[in-house]
Amino acid sequence: MYPFAKKLKLPSNGLSYEAFVELKTITNAFLFGLEDAEFQTNTAEIKATLLKPYLSIDPFEMWYADLLFVWEYVMSSVFAQTEVTKKEICKICKELNEVSVANESLDIVYLENSQEVLNFKIPYNDKELVVYYRRRKTMDNVQSSNDNLELQEALNDPTNYMKFFARLMYPQVVKIQFDSNSIGKPTEKELFDIFVYSQDKIEIINQFYDHLLKNSDFGIINNFNYVCKKCNHHNLFQFFDPITDSFFIKGSKPEKINMHYLGFIKEGFITFSELMNLPVIMNKEFFESCSKILEKESELASGGVDYRKFHGLG
């Protein structure tokens, strides 16, 4: 299928392991795995599991931005996929748009900054909060989402919601500082308390989310825009999404799971398009339940998005 092993330069550029990974000859087993994936786990884990036999570096230990890069490389060079496509819903008129970017025009940023620990500062009640953190690894996506399973099923409770985010981001937090007083690495409970006792909970979670999960300083350049075919609005979106890739999705109790995804949309953490691009939405039971709930959610359904059409089912 792909005759020669190849060395790929990784975007992390030697940050915490070799700058090059050896990609072995991809065999039919990979393809069967791809077709077989039952999506009873998250997207990050599927990608890492399928690639693991072919890489000289364990993909679970990789920076997630590196794994996404290798994944796209395999898809484009081995499977001759020439473009990345995604379904996106216009934020203004709710029209369904098929957007695509040619693989050859995807830009890769190779890391220049060799610092392993980064930080950001935000006002916190009357203090200044400084958060030291590291970038996200594949393992973080897998572990935090497995641990979060029971929380994901009860996320309409705001307390669980904050617990969920604390757990999702906890592995990346290295140190917390208030004004100049360091509390070192917080416990997961302490991180949760930082969210809970903030006067502006959503803003605090959003800041953590943007720095730790959403933005990466290396890898495939991931900020795109498209012009809506119906209303000409310029929409921003990301092709590759570490956060939805880390959601653990379980087949049972689809109503509950759907409710919490809708919560994510309302809080602005994911877009409706990102929800509909989750692989599990193809699960018929999940899809039916999602449609029912969305019909009741007037604000989301008001644009008349046709969920069946979205997945070519109707």
What are the residues binding Zn ion (CB under 5 A)? 90, 92-93, 95, 228, 230-231, 233
- CA distances in angstroms from 301 to 92, 227, 260, 292, 293, listed in the order given: 13, 22, 17, 10, 10
- Alpha-carbon distance of 211 to 207, in angstroms, equals 6
Contact 120, 211 (CB under 8 A): yes
Q: How far is the CB of 302 from Zn ion (least distance, A)?
A: 14
Under 8 Å CB-to-CB from 37, ≥6 apart: which residues? 46, 50, 279
**N- to C-terminal Cα distance for the chain?**
35
Q: Judged by CB, which is closer to Zn ion: 144, or 277?
A: 277
Q: How far is the CB of 47 from Zn ion (least distance, A)?
A: 31
Q: Judged by CB, which is closer to Zn ion: 214, or 233?
A: 233
Q: How far is the CB of 266 from Zn ion (least distance, A)?
A: 20
- Alpha-carbon distance of 248 to 45, in angstroms, equals 9
**H or E stretch including 124?**
strand 118-124
Q: How far is the CB of 223 from Zn ion (least distance, A)?
A: 19
Q: Judged by CB, which is closer to Zn ion: 5, or 231?
A: 231
Under 8 Å CB-to-CB from 272, ≥6 apart: which residues? 89, 265, 300, 305
Strand, coil or helix: what is 17? coil
Burial class (CB in 10 A: 0-12, 13-18, 19+), 218: buried
Q: Judged by CB, which is closer to Zn ion: 189, or 234?
A: 234
Q: Judged by CB, which is closer to Zn ion: 92, or 202?
A: 92
Q: Judged by CB, which is closer to Zn ion: 84, or 228?
A: 228
Q: How far is the CB of 99 from Zn ion (least distance, A)?
A: 12
Q: How far is the CB of 269 from Zn ion (least distance, A)?
A: 22
**What is the number of other CB atoms lying within 10 angstroms of the CB of residue 259?**
18
